Chains A and B, each alone.
Chain A
């Protein structure tokens, strides 16, 4: 099988997983929703965003591998509305009425974090039955943060807009309640703290949905709705008009050269077997701006002769200068760590965003390396990554094992955005290595106790662990846990990073001069 065939197979599988998220609650519920004259979450988004504009869906595989539907009954993403980049979320009412589960929370918190870090207005397309009650213990307490996020976004001058298409009751009522602008759809929106049965129980009062929380009532009487929409289309139109008047800068139409090499060839480049290294310069050439005025060389490599297992250098992507750190031979040695540290410091000195391209098996082990201070040097790199204040972007192309994941700006190091290729694998170490280590440890343990070692059981254990770790290190698993912002087609990487950099460029970039103490 060629590299391309192997990658295409993985991409086909990715499409199938994405299709599960798109299918929402399945054909029956989608049809019922349509029959009620309602639009699906993604249909609403398609109408909300500017025609022809790109839409970067975030965390589409959230909930993958869990008991909950892939996508976690919520769609989130970055889209352009009236020329303004916005963070958009939309409940998927075909999945259990759009109820929130623990993965929904993770996904929505991640979206809120992206809006906060990148100064984006938020548009929430609301239609949710509230909490998925069987999981209430997991979401009730942390879920409160949803509302805190909304008002803190408002305080941070990041406007919040709620377009209410349907149910938004009980706790959900605070979503419009905490939003800066509220649009409700006539005869559809239902926003109250307690519905007729609860009111009857609490006070004995007879009431109905409309008087408690109808769009018309909120627009004319309570004032919770700022705009009364005739229908869903009208709500989306009003949402667009609100954004048009946010007095925000519109996205630029600057032009730049396309890559010198065809991104399509990325599929040939990534080896089917990650044991086989590949030259990240070939990847970089297919991601960054091509030669053109002001960009006479596409990649200015820094320290090319030192620490050759990590490639560092400067390039432009969609006109934005970036510094790139890319693993070349998998292993990080002391030299690579020192080189990375210096390069991160340089990027901070010149306020330049950094892009990390992972294909690492981790920091080198062995007596020689330990004695030469690999821990100090790895720490130095992690120190630099942790304290750097320029925006970081991470793409996991292949392996991302051990502390290499940390040093190369894994999820725990809060890159602004982190995307994964279908070829990626992340774990504390390789599956075979991990199983082998466990085997060696148990063999030693048996030996020290003087017990006989069960070779057959050991073989079984190794096979089991190897398979389990292999499965757990697949990108879907980590994506399902919202440990990345999505699994992407390598050929889309330039576009994805272009959107990220466009969003990042909205705010001034300030590098730091203060670092943790570097051990020399």
Chain B
């Protein structure tokens, strides 16, 4: 069956990525989009687009009925599910096939078999693949243990148990979380392997037992069980183990007569050089580009070929497939690593990641992005903005190239994990290949070590000053100089500077030039320190006096928020105000106005991104004000409630 028009039942970067291959192959494309996603690039890139009313996944991308209907209405003859959402829903796969459309993925039976982690383990055990199993009644000797949701994915619902007494409560909590997140409260327990690595093998099956193995990927660098950095080949892996992993994956896929692209995940214990089957993902993985880079294949093309013709196309062109060089992918998330990886939302005032120019064979940067400059990032969906993939002859070169690309990327308006990614890539452990799922566990790479480039706020202050220039007059000119000008940024950053006859004087640097670059809101500031000149690109936006300033330089990005010179007392936040840490929905309010509260007492519970966040009383006192009730949506920074310390408030007038 020849595919002529393909609908991607997904959003963002993966939709764009599938469309790219379709365009190259001459296949027409159909996008579906929720209301929140209507303006994202993938919708424009498709030949046709179908709206799925509403924002929440449950109203849009998880509605199998609407998706099939959309495919029919748009005249599509195939559906690609991407990853996440319904990509591993056997039910959806069946609905697609029942509608006479081609399902780009494995047979629904394979999805079902692998979808239950418990059942999958049993199948793999029978096929001779090593699996991890905890005894039915664990004792102290079996600790630590890991509680996992059978239907889970992406780390949700996983809990590590180190004290036996915690096991039962953790199982109960995991069940509750799994039930709410996946609609299936089944959980299981397995041994927790410390300092383990996550190594997975890419397979493509023809549905008749033929399995193509496309090497492995190391996805050990994770935060809260979410992959952040992925690479191929896996570093520091003995060849024999590598081969054994590939064979195990082949057996696993063959055991279920697997069709299409899939990934067999293993837990690898580098100390004992042992591995165990974890699960099989019956879809295209987020991190598939690293495999594509080193093998020079297009996995989506392979998926389409298998789906269309039921046979494995010859991708090796006669010679055995071999991995070339090293590829590393990082996932750029709209999240704040320094604030517990809280998802971030907002408008991407700038989103430019340079792919550079490919000058050497096999070296280059690939960016798979779901967003562009001007895009609105919502918290309705996964927080991933883009994947950046570097491919170079050696791991070292790929790491360096990727770090440089990230440093130079212009990402304004939304907090991302970019700096953390740069720190990971720059860390000694990572550079040495000593990757492990614990790398980010202690949080040390979540925040910058030393102070940020002190010159960046100076460049920002000078560019801000330049926006105030009255033509013909030196900025902040004084015939009698009494004090420096002070530009304040949030975080107690104060830049003191003087306007001079011809420019600016700021401690620490000589100001060489400040010139507009295009619009009045973007400036290029050249500073000199000890004879070395560095250029800072400064982008300014927001209300005058309270601007947001983004400074990009070869040393990286600095986002600064101006502290206004004056605050209208009527607009000032009352002391003791509790602010929403992120946009979300209020799910519970635990105290009434007037109640005595103690420090740490949970007052308001917010839900965002399926995670619950508790806002607690900062001090002992009286809850004088509650501004929210369950069910309402709040924006980040909104006042939820006010706790007054009760005493010492006599100086507060009736403002």
Pair from one complex: yes
Of A18, A21, A80, A489, which is in contact with the most chain B CB atoms at under 10 Å from its CB?
Answer: A18
- Residue B356 interfacial (CB < 8 Å): no
Residues on A with beta carbons closer than 8 Å to the beta carbon of B469: 52
> Does the CB pair B479–A52 fall under 8 Å?
no
Q: Which of A43-79 contact B (CB under 8 A)?
A: 43, 46-47, 50-57, 60
> Does the CB pair B471–A255 fall under 8 Å?
yes
- Residue B478 interfacial (CB < 8 Å): yes
Chain A residue with Cβ nearest B468: A52
Given that A51-B565, A53-B470, A492-B501 are contacting pairs, would A46 and B480 also be in contact in the complex, using a CB cutoff of 8 Å? no
B 454-491 to A, binary, CB cutoff 8 A, 1 in contact else 0: 00000000000101111111111111111101000000
> Does the CB pair A318–B472 fall under 8 Å?
yes
Q: Which of A251-294 contact B (CB under 8 A)?
A: 251, 253-256, 258, 263-264
| Cross-chain contact of B474 among A46, A186, A254, A495 (Cβ < 8 A) | A495
Of A43, A60, A495, which is in contact with the most chain B CB atoms at under 10 Å from its CB?
Answer: A495
Quote the shortest CB–CB distance from A452 to chain B (angstroms).
54
- Residue A308 interfacial (CB < 8 Å): no
Q: With the chains together, A269 CA to B569 CA distance in Å?
A: 54
Q: Which of B546-578 contact A (CB under 8 A)?
A: 565-569
> Does the CB pair B472–A498 fall under 8 Å?
yes
Quote the shortest CB–CB distance from A292 to chain B (angstroms).
12
Quote the shortest CB–CB distance from B488 to chain A (angstroms).
11
Q: Which of A203-256 contact B (CB under 8 A)?
A: 230, 233-234, 236-237, 240, 251, 253-256
| Cross-chain contact of B479 among A57, A186, A236 (Cβ < 8 A) | A57
- Residue A474 interfacial (CB < 8 Å): no
- Residue A22 interfacial (CB < 8 Å): yes
Q: With the chains together, A138 CA to B504 CA distance in Å?
A: 44
Inter-chain residue pair count (beta carbon < 8 A): 96
> Does the CB pair A256–B568 fall under 8 Å?
no
Chain B residue with Cβ nearest A255: B471
Q: With the chains together, A256 CA to B545 CA distance in Å?
A: 27
> Does the CB pair A22–B482 fall under 8 Å?
yes
A 484-509 to B, binary, CB cutoff 8 A, 1 in contact else 0: 00101101100110110000000000
Chain B facing A: main interface SS = loop
Quote the shortest CB–CB distance from B322 to chain A (angstroms).
62
Q: With the chains together, A496 CA to B468 CA distance in Å?
A: 18
Residues on B with beta carbons closer than 8 Å to the beta carbon of A236: 566
> Does the CB pair B655–A54 fall under 8 Å?
no
> Does the CB pair B470–A253 fall under 8 Å?
yes
- Residue A4 interfacial (CB < 8 Å): no
Quote the shortest CB–CB distance from A97 to chain B (angstroms).
20
Residues on A with beta carbons closer than 8 Å to the beta carbon of B152: none
> Does the CB pair A42–B569 fall under 8 Å?
no
> Does the CB pair A42–B482 fall under 8 Å?
yes
> Does the CB pair B471–A52 fall under 8 Å?
no
Q: Which of A113-138 contact B (CB under 8 A)?
A: none
> Does the CB pair B472–A256 fall under 8 Å?
yes
Quote the shortest CB–CB distance from A240 to chain B (angstroms).
8
> Does the CB pair A18–B480 fall under 8 Å?
yes
Residues on B with beta carbons closer than 8 Å to the beta carbon of A18: 480-481
Q: With the chains together, A51 CA to B466 CA distance in Å?
A: 10
Quote the shortest CB–CB distance from A223 to chain B (angstroms).
19
Given that A51-B545, A60-B479, A489-B479 are contacting pairs, would A495 and B569 also be in contact in the complex, using a CB cutoff of 8 Å? no
- Residue B653 interfacial (CB < 8 Å): yes
- Residue B499 interfacial (CB < 8 Å): yes
Chain A residue with Cβ nearest B501: A491
> Does the CB pair B479–A488 fall under 8 Å?
yes
Given that A186-B653, A234-B566, A237-B568 are contacting pairs, would A255 and B472 also be in contact in the complex, using a CB cutoff of 8 Å? yes
Quote the shortest CB–CB distance from A498 to chain B (angstroms).
6
Q: With the chains together, A40 CA to B480 CA distance in Å?
A: 15
> Does the CB pair A237–B472 fall under 8 Å?
no
Quote the shortest CB–CB distance from B575 to chain A (angstroms).
14
Residues on A with beta carbons closer than 8 Å to the beta carbon of B479: 55-57, 60, 486, 488-489, 492, 496
> Does the CB pair A54–B480 fall under 8 Å?
no
Chain B residue with Cβ nearest A187: B651
Chain A residue with Cβ nearest B469: A52
Q: With the chains together, A495 CA to B482 CA distance in Å?
A: 18
Given that A46-B483, A186-B653 are contacting pairs, would A57 and B478 also be in contact in the complex, using a CB cutoff of 8 Å? yes
Residues on B with beta carbons closer than 8 Å to the beta carbon of A491: 501
Residues on A with beta carbons closer than 8 Å to the beta carbon of B483: 42-43, 46
> Does the CB pair B471–A253 fall under 8 Å?
yes
> Does the CB pair A51–B471 fall under 8 Å?
no
Residues on A with beta carbons closer than 8 Å to the beta carbon of B653: 186, 230
> Does the CB pair B471–A256 fall under 8 Å?
yes
Quote the shortest CB–CB distance from B543 to chain A (angstroms).
13
Quote the shortest CB–CB distance from A484 to chain B (angstroms).
12
Quote the shortest CB–CB distance from A254 to chain B (angstroms).
6
Of B467, B545, B568, which is in contact with the most chain A CB atoms at under 10 Å from its CB?
Answer: B568
Q: Which of B437-469 contact A (CB under 8 A)?
A: 465, 467-469
What are 10 A-B contacts defined by CB distance under 8 Å?
A: A18-B481, A40-B482, A43-B483, A51-B485, A52-B469, A52-B485, A233-B566, A237-B568, A253-B470, A264-B501
Chain A residues at the B interface, C-beta cutoff of 8 Å:
18, 21-22, 40, 42-43, 46-47, 50-57, 60, 80, 186, 230, 233-234, 236-237, 240, 251, 253-256, 258, 263-264, 318-319, 486, 488-489, 491-492, 495-496, 498-499
- New A-B pairs, 10, CB < 8 Å, besides A46-B482, A492-B477: A18-B481, A22-B482, A42-B482, A54-B474, A55-B478, A233-B565, A237-B568, A254-B472, A255-B471, A495-B477
A-B pairs with lowest CB-CB distance, top 5: A52-B468, A237-B566, A54-B477, A42-B482, A255-B471
